[in-house]
A and B are shown apart, each in its own frame.
Chain A
Amino acid sequence: MNTPKNLKYSETHEWVELLSDGTAKIGLTDFAQQKLGKLVFVNLPLVGDEITADEAFGDVESVKAVSDVIAPLDGTVLEVNEELLDEPGLINDDPYGAWLIKVEVTISKGELMSAEEYEAFCAEEE
């Protein structure tokens, strides 16, 4: 399992890249894409939508099931990775390259995990 050190992680398997200008990229972790299987559909918010920590902002679907994508922080959507709408499988191919949304962070949640903590968390969940 790939877990880049420069990212933060949530218990619901989203990754966050906090950037110095107060924005953040959000995506699904390698662990998540492996568990979900090949993704065939992605539903993302619109630019300008507010996202709220611990609430679903979108969903991803495999053949078998649909899963919510949970916001790891509060923010406003600045950009949506539209490429994923046509090719959801990019998330499977490159989970840390295939970001879902970019947001303007309003409140950053305190309890996001480091890479080490997240790896331990996933090992527990296996």
Chain B
Amino acid sequence: MEKKTPLYDFHVEAGAKMVPFAGYSMPVQYTDIIEEHLAVRQKAGLFDVSHMGEIMMSGKDALKNINYLFTNDFTSMTDGRVRYSPMCNEKGGVVDDLLIYRMGQNKYLVVVNASNREKDFEFMKSHSFGDVVLEDISDSLAQIALQGPKSKEILSKLTDEENIPQKYYTFLDGVKVAGIDCLVSQTGYTGEHGYELYCAAADALSLWNALLSAGKDEGLIPCGLGARDTLRLEAAMPLYGHEMDDTITPLETVLDFGVKLEKDDFIGKSALVAKGEPQITRVGLKVIGRGIIREHSSVFIGDDIIGETTSGTFLPYLNGAYAMALIDKVFCTVGTHVSVDVRGRRVDAEVTALPFYKKS
């Protein structure tokens, strides 16, 4: 039996197609993935992402712990900032990728992938030390993502200007949106301007409905996980279990901006240093032949396999077939011609720059 988010009844009543995902029954689409995708690029979309996990870390040694557990450096971080980081195992593989919110000098909110929530909590707990308390608060929180160029306009109708975080990767806590207590961050997983709102599970439906009606004139529509996936792929944002996993290092999948090898010891550091320059790298592929490339397909140059696709589909805004792949670094130059096995057929593609889409 799958778990339900606080917005489950809304999804079912709205006629969403529900699918099991990370232990939850989640909406994959309400009407059409392409329509929902384009709404986010051109207007705005609303996503229930309450399945995401939230772990609070507090205590005098919280900063020391996150600097040891995660690969990014949090030393200079100030209150109200959000930072992205991979979390590695001892071998340098990725346990998960996360967002860290600095709530206070000794208090950090860690947002983790739904499918990794238990694994992450156990991993973090077993490697924590000193004065720090870890608490999985996922079930008490709902998370709603408001994404798209109209999202600020919509949010402004429900709260004062001063309650809207002005910069990317910043947040404001304890603000009222439609009269509901929220943490609002300027973050997202679509490559578009937008916000993520965290509130008490009991307030989720009120907040959701308030946002939907506030955004009606701007063209805001509810969007499912299907569009969330195509949007993040179009923006070339990596997804755990696809572009990275326990055996792929963050350097191999080009997340080096979130790995600070120069900082003091952290889990996986010695393995990453010992491995040296990665031999594989993450690239974008654009189909130039006929077909759609999906994940787990071999990438060829001639008869030689040079790597494997990690995600791929038809991207609605770019109106073409694209994929990301982990390939031998030797072949990563933009413009390199490759072919990809699609169910026994070879589809021609070329290495193309990432991200595929960047908001103007």
Contact = CB atoms under 8 A, between A and B. Distances in A.
B291 A43 contact: yes
A64 B321 contact: no
Contact of A38 (B34, B313, B343): B34
A40 interface: yes
A21 to B, nearest CB: 32
A31 interface: no
Question: Which interface residue of A62, A63, A85 has the most chain B CB atoms within 10 A?
Answer: A63
Chain A interface size, as a band, is 10 to 19
B294 A66 contact: yes
A61 B314 contact: yes
A63 B226 contact: yes
B314 A41 contact: yes
Interface residues of B, number: 18
A37 interface: yes
B292 A41 contact: yes
A29 to B, nearest CB: 18
A110 B142 CA distance: 54
Question: Which interface residue of A38, A40, A43 has the most chain B CB atoms within 10 A?
Answer: A40
Contacts, number: 39
Contact of B316 (A41, A43, A59, A63): A63
A59 B290 CA distance: 13
A41 B345 CA distance: 15
Contacts of B230: 63
Nearest to B321: A41
B321 A37 contact: no
B292 A66 contact: yes
Nearest to B226: A64
Interface in B115-152: none
A12 to B, nearest CB: 17
B265 interface: no
B292 A61 contact: yes
A63 B291 contact: no
A68 to B, nearest CB: 9
B292 A38 contact: no
Question: Which interface residue of B32, B226, B314, B345 has the most chain A CB atoms within 10 A?
Answer: B314
Contacts of B314: 40-41, 61, 63
A102 B28 CA distance: 35
B249 interface: no
Interface string B280-316: 0000000000111010000000000000000001101
A41 B314 CA distance: 9
B163 interface: no
Contacts of B316: 63
Contacts of A43: 290-291, 345
Contacts of B34: 38, 40, 63
A37 B230 CA distance: 15
Interface in A6-24: none
Given A40-B314, A41-B314, A41-B321, A63 B294 contact: no
Interface string A45-89: 000000000000001011110100000000000000000010000
Contacts of A61: 292, 314
Contacts of A66: 292, 294, 343
A64 B34 CA distance: 10
Interface of A: 37-38, 40-41, 43, 59, 61-64, 66, 85
Closest CB pairs A-B (n = 7): A40-B314, A63-B33, A41-B292, A61-B292, A38-B34, A63-B314, A63-B313
Given A41-B321, A64-B226, 17 more contacts: A37-B29, A37-B32, A38-B32, A38-B33, A38-B34, A40-B34, A40-B292, A40-B314, A40-B321, A41-B290, A43-B290, A43-B345, A61-B314, A63-B230, A63-B313, A64-B29, A66-B292
28 contacts: A37-B32, A37-B33, A38-B33, A38-B34, A40-B34, A40-B314, A41-B290, A41-B291, A41-B292, A41-B314, A41-B321, A43-B290, A43-B291, A43-B345, A59-B343, A61-B292, A63-B33, A63-B34, A63-B226, A63-B313, A64-B28, A64-B29, A64-B33, A64-B226, A64-B313, A66-B292, A66-B343, A85-B290
